[in-house]
Structure 1
Amino acid sequence: MSRNRFGRTAALAAALTLAGTLGACAPIVDRHGYVQEGFDVESVRIGVDNRQSVQQKLGSPSTRGTFQSDVWYYISQEHQQRMFFTPKVTARQVVAVRFARNGLVSEIETLELEDGQEIALVERETPTRGRETTLLQEFFGNIGRFNDALRTGAMGDMIDRR
Structure 2
Amino acid sequence: MRRILAFSSRLLLPAAMALTVAACSSNIAHRGYLAKPGAFGQVREGMPKSEVEGILGSPSTTASVNYQGDSYYYISSTTEQTAFLNPKEVERQVIAIRFDQNDQVASLGQYGLEDGKIVDINSRTTPTKGRELTMLQQLFGNIGKPGPGGAIVPGRTPGSTGPGKSGP
Q: How far 1:125 sits from its partner (Å)?
A: 3.7
1:115 corresponding residue in structure 2: 115
Q: Which amino acid aligns with 1:89?
A: E
Corresponding residue number in structure 2 for 1:32: 31
CA–CA separation in structure 1 for the residues paired with 2:38 and 2:84: 33
Distance (whole Å) between structure 2 residues aligned to residue 63 and residue 39 of structure 1? 21
**Deviations for 1:36-67, whole angstroms, at most 9, x for unmatched residues?**
334511101112x1110000011111100123
Alignment of 1:64-79 (within 5 A): 64-68=62-66, 70-79=70-79
Q: CA deviation at 1:126?
A: 5.0
In structure 2, distance between residues paired with 1:118 and 1:127? 25
User: How far, CA to CA, are the matches of 1:121 and 1:62 in structure 2?
Assistant: 23
**Range 89-98 or range 2-11, more displaced:** 2-11
1:14 and 2:13 aligned: yes
Structure 2 unmatched runs, 5+: 129-168
Q: Is the 8 A contact 1:93 1:110 kept in 2?
A: yes
* Cα deviation code 1:129-156 (max 9, x no counterpart): xxxxxxxxxxxxxxxxxxxxxxxxxxxx
Gaps of 5+ in 1: 129-162
Shift in Å, 1:6: 2.0
Report the AA paired with residue 46 of structure 1: E
Match of 1:43 in 2: 42
Aligned-residue offset at 1:103: 1.6
Counterpart residue identity of residue 76, structure 1: S
Compute the TM-score of the two structures, normalised by the length of structure 2. 0.67
Mapped partners of 2:105, 2:17: distance in 1: 56
Report the identity percentage: 34
Higher share in helix: 1
Question: What amino acid sits opposite 1:94 in the alignment?
Answer: V
- Counterpart position of 1:58: 56
Q: Distance in 1 between matches of 2:100 and 2:121?
A: 34
Structural RMSD (CA): 2.0
